[in-house]
Amino acid sequence: MSVHVEPAHGEHEHHGPAKYTYQPNPFKFDPTTLGLIIFLTSEIALFGAFFLYYGHTRLVKGLEWPQPGFEIPADATSFNTAILIASSFTCEMVLLLLVRNMRRAAIAWMVLTILLGSAFLGLQAREYIEIGFTPQTNSMGSIFFSLTGLHGAHVFIGINLLIYCLIRLMRGHFSKDGMVGLVITSIYWHFVDVVWIILYTLVYLLPTHVT
């Protein structure tokens, strides 16, 4: 003889696993897209902190930029800026050519993108040697090398990612139906270029005194 026991007042019967209403990803992004958004947000916060300190030092503390006796080579660096901007276009060409199944052409444009990025880093290193001050010279030196050095480190990482994508391209891993890694690398490279344009404008093109 079986006895059915009614649940006490305020208690509920549970059938199967509990249903949770918490949604950690309410916008339904796939993990790759969500990871890219989080990464770029953290990068924006990182560069933003450096730019805010730079702006606070110049606008609030009144730091002369450049300080007397020193020069920021804006004209010479404009050529380097053009190189990096051009690399964004060549990087985008890789995607467009791969969509058209033109793998050999895509590989050639990827090689060109890597060469342009490497040329940018090379000219940046030459600028460091010839600029006439170091991070230890004064506050201007520490700010200049911190901002440009942080960006240079990101360019170096980007070049390594591009080389990895080049190897995969040569092995036939990417196609028009599957090139997530290549797209993410391209977005990262464009981000690095946009940051440089902002950096170049603020650090190189906006001196305290215009002569």
Distance between CA 144 and CA 149 in Å, rounded? Answer: 8
Please report the pLDDT score of residue 91 as a whole number.
Answer: 96
139-176: per-residue pLDDT in tens? 999 999 999 999 999 999 999 999 999 999 999 888 88
Give Dmax over CA atoms of the chain in angstroms: 103
70-110: per-residue pLDDT in tens? 999 999 899 999 999 999 999 999 999 999 999 999 999 99
> What domains can be seen in the chain, in order of their start residue?
73-204 (1.20.120.80)
Distance between CA 174 and CA 105 in Å, rounded? Answer: 13
Distance between CA 55 and CA 201 in Å, rounded? Answer: 13
* DSSP for 65-109, written as a single string: SSPTT----HHHHHHHHHHHHHHHHHHHHHHHHHHTT-HHHHHHH
Lowest mean pLDDT among 17-21, 113-117, 142-146: 17-21
Residues 6+ apart with CB under 8 A from 126: none
Please report the pLDDT score of residue 33 as a whole number.
Answer: 78
- Ramachandran category for residue 52: left, alpha or beta (phi over 0 → left; psi -120 to 50 → alpha): alpha
pTM comes to 0.83
Report whether pLDDT(7) > 60. Answer: no
